[in-house]
Structures are given as C-alpha cells and as structure tokens.
Amino acid sequence: MLPNQIAQLFETMIQQVNDTPEHREFVRNWVGPYQGKVLQVETDDDTFHILLHRKGTMELQIGSYPSPEVIYKASTETLMSLFTGQTTFRDLIKRWELIIIGAGHESLPLGQLMMRVLRTR
C-alpha cells in the first residue's frame, strides 16, 4: 500500500508511462545522456522518490534519496491541487506553500509528462 494520495497518483502515472511506448520515449529524451534522474517528494506524512531510468521507464520508491535532482516539499493537499491542475507552481511558490529544492527546471518536463499521460487516459 502506498503511503498517501500523491504517491498513488504518481504510481498511476508511472504505470501509464511504463506501458506506453510514446511516454517511455519522452522519459528517455528527458533523461538524455545521464544514467537516470531522481525526483523526490516530501509531504507532512511521507517521503518518496521517483526514479527515471535511461531506458525510459520510471519507478516509485518509498523513502528519501541521497542526492535527488529536485525535492518538492508541500502538504499532500497542496501537491494534489498542483498535480491535478487546480493551482499552479507559481501561485504555490508565491504563497510559500510549495518549496522546490535543487533543479527546479525539472518541473517543466514533469508537468508535460503528466499532461501527456492525462490526455491518453
């Protein structure tokens, strides 16, 4: 059982990515020449990270990663509103409801991937 709603949302997205060649190609291009990328999510209740592999697949692991590219810190409710399109990164950051540590530019391809997955569901 995944720890919270936001982890479940990511797990659903990851399953779609892993099952769809076009989504895997998007992830391959996102990762580029690197071995992979790691995005970490920290809520009040849980911490988990998403591994993006060079081959285009993704996986979710519970716990923190020693050196993720980016860390998103917010409440579960805030992250759900962000990742379901009810609010924007900009608005949440301006209100200090979302803290982004590290390579914040990784948020752009993450958002693009989420939109691609939602369109194909």
| Number of domains the chain is built from | 1
Q: Quick check: is 24 in a domain?
A: yes
Q: Quick check: is 121 in a domain?
A: no
Confidence of residue 1 (pLDDT cuts 50, 70, 90): very low
pTM, rounded to two decimals: 0.90
In this model, does residue 4 exceed pLDDT 80?
Answer: no
> What tens digit of pLDDT does each residue of 22-38 get?
999 999 999 999 999 99
Q: What is the distance between the alpha carbons of residues 24 and 113, in angstroms, rounded to a whole number?
A: 10
- Which CATH number do you get for residue 41? 3.30.1050.10
Q: DSSP secondary-structure letter at 23?
A: H
Confidence of residue 3 (pLDDT cuts 50, 70, 90): low
29 vs 70, 93, 116, CA distance in Å? 18, 27, 14
Q: Quick check: is 120 in a domain?
A: no
- Give the pLDDT of residue 121: 63
> What tens digit of pLDDT does each residue of 52-95 get?
999 999 999 999 999 999 999 999 899 888 877 889 888 998 99
Range of the domain at 20: 5-114
